[in-house]
Amino acid sequence: MTGAGADAVTVGVVVLTMGDRRQELQALVESVAAQEGPPATVVVLGQGVELPPLPAGAAAVELPENLGIPGGRNAGVQWLREHGGVDVVVVLDDDGLLPRTDTLRLVREAFTDNPRLGIVSFRIVDEEGLTQRRHVPRLGASDPLQSGPVTTFLGGAHAIRMRVIEEVGEFPASFFYAHEEADFAWRALDAGWEIDYRADTVLRHPRTEATRHAVYYRNTGRNRVWLAKRHLPAVLVPVYLASWAAYTLAQRPPLSGLRQWWAGFFEGVRVPCPPRRPIRWRTVWRMTRLGRPPII
């Protein structure tokens, strides 16, 4: 749907930064300002750092400490609530860029056309226009240009209907980094919302590896356990964790990384991360029909 219906959808953009990508951040905010249609409300949050000067129209919020990715996003959503609220929250990496001017218009139209659409996952492309396999939220060697329903979404480039956040709750701040999107996605699916991967909504982002983050291995191991303990039916918890342990070993990570992964895994077993709210079996079946049963 085009025209007034989609234009009535208000959009807020949340960007988290550690203050070390000043040029990239400015270019991103300028690319948001260049979008077609009604202007988005933009808030940039410094994770315990002083923010550089921002382009006109972008709000600057300096958090007293690094809250982690989910905690920072929650702070951004809260700021949007306190400043009038929006219908859709868009989260973008601070070193990303919207190369097209119709991206937010496409987001508005997607949510207008489908009242049960809860989340849109963008396509992330590198400097050469290619999409890394890890940036396609489907199993198998899926075509990144193929849009469709999925069971999770990309953290660095997505849009969420604010009503979904109000209904299922915010991101799990205790995760700090890794798998907070899966946690949120499972709750959204269990509440009956749909998630779409949209190849036509594009964020350009430098080609990177997830292992560049110092906490990658430990948090990945820990948060996988927490995810299972929080949301899987009890019988599926050991199946899911065994599946991910086997997958991790098959990837042959460096010995130091493997040690960190196991340390995080056993931390997740030992340390609780409430609340426990298992998804329903019909959600398990729905995820299976979408090609990603919650044991993989």
* Count: domains in the chain: 2
Domain boundary at 208, 239, 260, which? 208
Torsion-angle region of residue 140: left (phi > 0), alpha (psi -120 to 50) or beta?
Answer: left
* Residues 271, 200 within the same domain: no
Q: Rounded to whole angstroms, how far apart are CA atoms 55 and 256?
A: 42
CA 211 to the chain's CA centroid: 17
Q: What is the CATH number of the domain that holds 116?
A: 3.90.550.10
Beta-carbon-side half-sphere exposure of residue 153 (alpha carbons within 13 Å): 32
Q: Rounded to whole angstroms, how far apart are CA atoms 91 and 279?
A: 25
Look at residue 27 and tell me if it is in a domain.
yes
* Residues 178, 156 within the same domain: yes
Q: Rounded to whole angstroms, how far apart are CA atoms 43 and 174?
A: 22
Query: What tens digit of pLDDT does each residue of 146-204 get?
Result: 999 999 999 999 999 999 999 999 999 999 999 999 999 999 999 999 999 999 999 99
- The answer to whether the CB of 207 falls within 8 A of the CB of 129 is no
* Residues 120, 244 within the same domain: no
* Residues 185, 97 within the same domain: yes
Share of the chain above pLDDT 90, in %: 91
Find the angle CA(245)-CA(250)-CA(252) to the nearest 5 degrees: 105
Q: Residue 14 belongs to what domain range?
A: 4-208
Look at residue 294 and tell me if it is in a domain.
no
- The answer to whether the CB of 119 falls within 8 A of the CB of 161 is yes
* Residues 145, 283 within the same domain: no
* Residues 199, 267 within the same domain: no
* Residues 169, 188 within the same domain: yes
On the question of pLDDT at 1 being above 60, the answer is no
* Residues 154, 41 within the same domain: yes
* Residues 105, 91 within the same domain: yes
Q: Rounded to whole angstroms, how far apart are CA atoms 278 and 226?
A: 12
Residue with tokens 């729905």: 286
Look at residue 295 and tell me if it is in a domain.
no
Q: Which residue has the higher pLDDT, 138 or 93?
A: 93
Q: Rounded to whole angstroms, how far apart are CA atoms 176 and 209?
A: 18
Q: What is the pLDDT of residue 276?
A: 97
* Residues 123, 255 within the same domain: no
Which residues, 6 or more positions from 188, have their beta carbon under 8 angstroms from its beta carbon? 118, 119, 164, 168, 195
* Residues 112, 230 within the same domain: no
Segment 20-39 shows an average pLDDT of 97
Q: Rounded to whole angstroms, how far apart are CA atoms 246 and 239?
A: 11
Q: What is the pTM of this model?
A: 0.95
Query: What tens digit of pLDDT does each residue of 267-294 get?
Result: 999 999 999 999 999 999 999 999 999 9
pLDDT tier at 213 (50, 70, 90 boundaries)? low
